[in-house]
Structure 1
Amino acid sequence: MGSWDVEPFGNDDAADFAFELDDASPEARIEAIGRALDRVVDATDDDPHLSQAPRAVAAAALVAAQCPGGAQVTSAYGPSTPMPPFPAYLRDLAIDALDRILATPTWLAEYWDEASQGPAWRRTVADLRRVLDPPQEEALFGSDVADR
């Protein structure tokens, strides 16, 4: 994989994915995002679908962009066509895909861990994960109790 940036579309695989998304119908874009995420979630350690990890990170970034607090994908190598609204299940699938990429030693995580920009890449992925699954504040009391 050729990479030039730690951002989700900062590599050849993700840039190719963006071009494919630009050429697809809105429905096909949703399917392609889901397929990229699902392949990584369901992959075993020796499964060639783990080679889809850069696409899954890019897909997760597009899903996160539609979440509260999500950053729009502004990379020159990202899709230039607006994404359709994504169904809610893609959010959970994106979380699972990012967890899969980071939880076990995948080639993508190892690639970045060996690079000087590895910590920055991990922060990028962690930021996406945080947008997709924000920490929940614990409420000790209902709002009517707090107002008294």
Structure 2
Amino acid sequence: MGTWGIGPFDNDAAADFAAGLDEAGPERRVAMIRDVLVRTIDATGRLADADEAVAAAALVAAQCPGGEPVDPDDGPQEPMPAFPDQLRKLAGEALARIATDPCGPAPNWVDPDDAQQWQASLARLRTVLVPPPPTIPLFDVERPA
């Protein structure tokens, strides 16, 4: 497998995943994203789909407030449908699994600086994917005299 950078689509597996999304009909893209995230969350042993899950999470994060758009030169060229809110949680869980798994891609980086930058990029994606806490309205409560 080739890796040429730390970005979510900077490896062969993620590039192939992006091409698969482009080839799939718009109605199938949400299911493809969901499937790779769930497979990663539920995986035991080696995380076979980790690179694709990072790419999927980046696509979900791109639709969240504060998310960075995915460059069509790197990721899918076809527009993505609006993703349901449940994918945010799945994407965050998949990234947490990848970031902490000793069998995942994290230990594969030869250059420690690249490994740190890659981990930082996962952390940024996770921050975007965490939904903001619900706001609790503050009421003016009159105190008895």
| Alignment TM class, shorter chain as reference | 0.7 to 0.9
User: Cα 1:134–1:92, aligned 2, differ >3 Å: closer, same or farther?
Assistant: closer
Query: How many Å apart are 1:137 and its aligned residue?
Result: 9.5
What is the DSSP-based 3-state SS (H/G/I as helix, E as strand, rest coil) of the residue aligned with 2:10? Answer: coil
Aligned-partner Cα distance in 1 for 2:39–2:51: 12
- Could you list the runs of 5+ residues in structure 2 that have no partner in the other structure? none
Aligned-partner Cα distance in 1 for 2:139–2:103: 44
Letter in structure 1 aligned against 2:64: C
What is the DSSP-based 3-state SS (H/G/I as helix, E as strand, rest coil) of the residue aligned with 1:107? Answer: coil
Aligned-partner Cα distance in 2 for 1:27–1:42: 24
Residue from 120, 126, 129 that aligns with 2:117: 120
CA contact (8 A) 1:40 1:52 kept: yes
Partner residue in 2 for 1:34: 34
Instruction: Report % sequence identity.
Output: 50
User: Cα 1:105–1:4, aligned 2, differ >3 Å: closer, same or farther?
Assistant: same
Aligned-partner Cα distance in 1 for 2:117–2:125: 13
Letter in structure 2 aligned against 1:11: N
Letter in structure 1 aligned against 2:62: A
The more displaced of 57-66 and 75-84 is 75-84
The Cα offsets for residues 30-76 of structure 1, whole Å up to 9 and x where unpaired, read as 11101110110000124xxx110000000000000000000000152
Structure of larger gyration radius = 2
Query: How many Å apart are 1:107 and its aligned residue?
Result: 2.8
Aligned-partner Cα distance in 2 for 1:144–1:27: 47
What is the DSSP-based 3-state SS (H/G/I as helix, E as strand, rest coil) of the residue aligned with 1:94? Answer: helix
